[in-house]
Amino acid sequence: MVNVILLGAPGAGKGTQAKRLVEKYGIPQISTGDILREAVRNGTPLGLQAGPLMSAGKLVPDDLVVGIVRERLKQADCGAGFLLDGFPRTVPQAEALERALAEMGRVVDAVVELEVPADLIRARVLGRRSCPSCGAVYHLTDSPPSQPGICDRDGTALITRDDDRPEKVEKRLSEFAALTRSLSPWFDARGLLRRVDGTGSPEGVFRSVVQVLEGGR
- Distance (Å) of CA 181 to CA 68, 115, 162, 214: 23, 11, 24, 25
Residue 98 one-letter amino acid: E
**Residue positions annotated with a catalytic role:** 14, 89, 128, 161, 172
Alpha-carbon distance of 8 to 3, in angstroms, equals 17
Alpha-carbon distance of 27 to 78, in angstroms, equals 7
Alpha-carbon distance of 21 to 82, in angstroms, equals 10
Q: Where are the beta strands (DSSP E) in the chain?
A: 2-7, 29-31, 81-85, 110-115, 128-130, 137-139, 193-197
